[in-house]
Structure 1
Amino acid sequence: MAAKGDGGTQERMACIVGEQSDKARIGQCLPGGPGFYKVSARRPLCSPCPEHSRALENASTFCVCQDSYARSPSDPPSASCTPTYAQVTVSTGAGAPWEEDEIRRDRVEPQSVSLSWREPIPAGAPGANGTEYEIRYYEKGQSEQTYSTVKTGEPAVTVTNLKPATRYVFQIRAASPGPSWETQSFNPSIEVQTPGEAASGSKDQSPAVVVTIVTISALLVLGSVMSVLAIWRRTCSYGKGGRDAHDEEELYFHFKVPTRRTFVDPHSCGDPLLAVHLFAKELDAKSVTLERSLGTGRFGELCFGCLQLPGRQELPVAVHTLREGCSDLQRLSFLAEALTLGQFDHSHVVRLEGVVTRGSTLMIITEYMSHGALDGFLRRHEGQLVAVQLMGLLPGLASAMTYLSEMGYVHRGLAARRVLVSGDLICKISGFGRGPRDRAEAVYTTMSGRSPALWAAPETLQFGHFSSASDVWSFGVVMWEVMAFGERPYWDMSGQDVIKAVEDGFRLPPPRHCPSPLHRLMLDCWQKDPGERPRFCQIHGLLSKMVQDPEPPKCADTTCARYSCHLAYPRPPTPLADRAFSTFPSFCSVGAWLEALDLGRYKDSFAAAGYGSLEAVATMTAQDLVSLGISSVEHREDLLSGISALRARVLQLQGRGVQV
């Protein structure tokens, strides 16, 4: 890391692990050489490897033990390695054997045992001063030929480097040094069981200490749970109680679980080239091999390649390169993408493998998603996946968006084309390359093709305001895209027509085979008031329930509160879910339309109320259906879904919206 100054003061950014400051060039970092390591970025210099360990590679973050040496799992990386066993050759002399009850077990710990015994020759008697003891021990159940021995001149010994939760056999013999040493036999065997790690800790504590520790731990856990619940109540509830939507957003972003990291805006980091190493690993350009081009990105070429790191298998990766001749602004935007992606660690967010900033070509290396963008993947496999399989793609994406929103990150460009699919069909959020200004300008600069207006919330289109709630709106469109096999939202309507239709209250009808509970969740995401939309944590919970239990019980009371049944426990799909209304078939009359719904029994009711044309039917509301005397809740839902499809048809043909 280079140092950066301001008005005569210097603020140094520490070198990453495995690297140390270059004394010759201030502000530069060099990888540590073989035999040195650095485990923390807070240390300025690398340290030599501890005794009996080695580091063969440059920029090592730890040293491995030599053969026949090891560290305890509880030892720090700076601890020396010790032999994995003790083998001592000893000789013993004459002595009387002990009875088993004469050998005392003074202390038994997970990795050591302390024994003591009576002296075979009383102290002060002739020959007492020259008595030596040989202790032989081995794991019970193993051959006695695989034993270890240790000697001592005292009637006590502490044997170390034992295994926790293991039964050992110990034998002792005593002798005076001399030719008769090897003729003496060992006393009868005794067995000692070493405790497990957890059991040892509890034995060393007095009851009062144990009670105190347990009480304090319980209070801490209870306090943490209460804090999380309080935060959850603030962040995972619909803001309907008269609060302003902006106030709801402030509560949502400022009350966070303390352990959750907060997103750092790359544009506030000064020089991104320096800041990128805080969140991304610098890779050696020689470890990256480019094999073929996958296309052209905003800043350069996107390639398929392989990443080969020392001691690891070759990894397929996607390599984003910065084209030559880019402006400084484009270069900063390119690095900002790595700065953004490097802050995330979630199984459904594309993983950053590292960056290359020290070569002639800047590169961002991410995991390779072999199936590409989600919308294209769905179009290629249309008809091959059933509704339940399509719905199974959604909870993971909702989990990722929950994670991002809790970090305070607003995506601003969520769409199926910015979701990538891995070889094992895992969907991951991507598309972190544009800043807020880029996204706001894009909404207004294009109104055709893949216009951002198709995914943008009303407040974004009108005021350029982005928030987690606007991401929820976009996520509703992504859910529609998934269930429609990657079909373009709003079909061939122009961006301007979409903006007008959304403002007039038009919403996308359910795709073919889309369960009605899922479409109702989409409609909730498309509430005009941002404060009325669900939070991502709620969306994730509801989608998980839908996938696990696709047929929950119906709401018994048709007058029950909207969200008690509508969101907390969605109703099952209606028969209309199996009909292809997203293709907008043409009907010559209202009667033909009702027959297609298997609801021809209501022809006379529609005619008597004056609904003689399909355009008139497209303006009907739920209250209008009740006024016709249609008492069946299921029939009203079928009719409302059909009316939504008619509205879409009318908008396509006439280019005007219908208020809902």
Structure 2
Amino acid sequence: SDKIYTRLPLIYSHSFFDVLLDMKASGGELGWLTWPLDQGDKPGWEVVQKTLNGSQLYTYSICNVGEREQDNWLRTTFIQRRPSASRVFVELQFIVRDCNSFGASSLTCKETFNLFSSESDADVGTTFRKGQFKKVATIAPDEITGKKELRINTETRVVENLSLKGFYLAIQDIGACVALLSLRVYYKICPATIQSLASFPETVAGGENQALREVSGECVENAISEGLPRIYCTVDGEWVVPVGQCQCKPGYEETEDACKECLPGFFKAEASSGKCEPCPANTQGLDTGALFCPCMDGFYRAPTDPPTGPCSGLPSAPRDLVATTSHLSVGKLLLSWRPPEHTGGRTDITYSIECLRCEGPVCQSCGEKIRYEPANVGLTLTKVTVSELDAHLNYTFTVEAHSGVSAFASQAMPQAHKLPLTNPPKITSMRLVKQNPTSLSLSWEVSPKPRVQARPIRYELTYRKKDDNLDVTTYTVLILEKNSVQIPDLSPGTAYLFRVQALGSDGSPGGSSIEEQYETLSEGHLAHNNTAVISGAAIGGAVMLLIVVIVLFLHRRSVLFFFLNGFQLKPLKTYVDPHTYEDPNIAVLKFATEIHPSHITKQKVIGAGEFGEVYRGILKVPGRKEVAVAVKTLKPGYTEKQRQDFLSEASIMGQFAHQNIIRLEGVVTKFKHAMIVTEYMENGALDRYLRDHDGEFSAYQLVGMMRGIAAGMKYLSDMSYVHRDLAARNILVNNTLECKVSDFGLSRVLEDDPEGTYTTSGGKIPIRWTAPEAIAYRKFTSASDVWSFGIVMWEVMAFGERPYWDMSNHEVMKAINEAFRLPAPMDCPSAVYQLMLQCWLQDRSKRPRFGDIVSLLDKLLRSPESLKAIADFDPRVSIRLPSTSGSDGPPFRCVPEWLESIKMSQYGENFTCAGIVSMDQVMQMKNEDIKNIGVRLPGHLKRIAYSILGLKDQTSTLSVFAV
């Protein structure tokens, strides 16, 4: 039978989409319209019903290869469209028979069919008008079915710019033997999601004219945000670059994309992304969702304490209150004490003094007559001098300890002043410990040795200058708690007399004292000693510096070693990997200039990077001319690791200074929103720029672009630096067509091993641009960058065409391993293509170095005539025309169909007005004829001309096959 039947399993995809029509899943009569309605004996599209696993499957087939002038239509039912779905995908599964399998019975056999669409605001029922449909695509099979084995093809096409309530799809058969197994219509969506505690609704993916669709969200319950949360939906149905982070309210913490109340015993005082914290010391948390934890009984917070801090208890009483009098000063004493044993957990301890004077049994406040030095309240030291005391009266002094929480409770623990009399120990000897021109250090021995007791022994030290004039003598008296002292502010070369004696517990002097004479050093002696010390230090420092230099040389010789090249010294390595810094922030500050955000004006979003949005802006630094810049921003809610990864690119770029490397203007790191500021490249990415200006540049200009890229890569290679992601999309172009290498996100420094390789631990590899050894072993060298540069050369000469076209990554790797290399693009100079092939040598050691590449390109630019020899070009490979196996004559049915296949449909009216309406007329055209009908752009002229050459070549070849 000429009809085709099959049993096909259902296919599911992990992509996010909504299905509008699924031929397989309908489970009933499809009700599709066939046209013409009455063809007499000529069969049109026929529906075939099969049962598979209890389910009904319907397919459509047609096979009128024995008839001429075929024009058979199959139209779907009305497909209602979601209002925001302006772009839908049509997935077809089908089988096409090989025309050669029909032999002589085939009159007009074709191996392609057409897909059409028509919009409408209402279902038109069985009304069918061909004029209302517009062509979507010509569908050609990748594999053709012979007499024995069935080969199923799957093709997906896009229908864009839909605006009405619904639409129809139609299949036009023009003489093929085809079976339609499945037709599924769907549109891609970004599913409803919660990111950074912000909820975003399901969103239909945009079209090519809206690559990023901005969507506003709202914070989840019990979360808040300073600004409106935003995110972008891509054309592939993926969410990227969330902006504006939500944070859980006070009393709530983030748990699985929601905000939940803090558990009892925990609290959270502010809106943040942090977790609830356990209640601090001396507090208790009894309820859920606590903003703070209240104090336990007997504990308090001072008015200046934060509500999130611990609670404190009251301090205990001061200890060991002692009053000391002096025989030299009448009516004066020194009160001293030890701090409280328990401070209640506080450090703001102060003291107050209360004085009572008693005459007989009557006691009253001492009043203002008594003087305290420094004061009697708010004391921070544990001593105070009291003066203006009257003789023959009893005084009682009470010292109280206070803290910031003392106002919440009244608890004073006074200790009364007592004056027990004890015999002090004797001073047995005094000695000089250290001698300087302006100070003396002394110590003395006591007997018997003091036992461990609550109160330390106090000493009174009196000293004066030794002077013959005894009419005026100045004494200095010190009260000490240690048996040693350093006395400053003395005169150089002067003798002093020192007397020391122990004091009783009441402050009265003991009966034993000892006096000695000691002399300070002269200033000349000091200068002599200083000279010796400085000389010794200088010699020692020089020796230490020499040792450090030797050690550094031995341990870092890979960095400090130099070699002679003619009469110049060149460092083997100058690049410093910022990832080796323990603190990445130090690397940023070392290699990048800090910019104040007030000097940056953001104007327009020009893209979205991995970490946030990219703006075009203006940099105006005082004293400098304002310049246009690109500003990369870090999205809110970033982690510290994301911030370090974001700024590491600036640490790398800041080390480069070359006209073909993107220039870093500076960074913003000391403010809330981190930014990287680079020079602004007006023409953007090289691949898109070339696609937008297809055919507008000469080979000489294109080689000049390549030379700039090669010079930048030579600079990086000389610094032992591997880019790892060299591609036309990562080359930026300014308004003078100068190309600069950018995007150092995958870049890494070479290791100090003989191979000079970097081994990755994971991550994505751009397969189409990566050398085979880097794909297989994840080892990157400058030689692997050379391979990538060869692909960039191909992209430049092909005006931004995708390397390896629509081949999958697996197919690309398999082809490369089987020695396949990209063919020469149209009009590519032979010398340039030969350089590409040298870059793609399997043995990396035989590939040219970037220095060699720059030299060769310079040679070509100095001799433009060397670019006139063009490499062989095969239009069947580059344009990838649809299969026409088995057909006789031109492979396309009409001129519009041919123009659409080479993406030149805009010239359809030019051909019609010139009277060229058949493919036979097209095949007779020459270059002048193409120019005369209005094709002026060089790139378009070449594409059409080469396609005609390809058609002639195919037709002659197919004629031989037919014979």
- Normalized against structure 1, the TM-score is what? 0.46
Q: Whose helix fraction is larger, Structure 1's or Structure 2's?
A: 1
Q: Which has the larger radius of gyration?
A: 2
RCO higher in structure (CA 8 A, sep ≥6) = 1
Normalising to structure 2: TM-score of the pair?
A: 0.32
Structure with higher strand content: 2
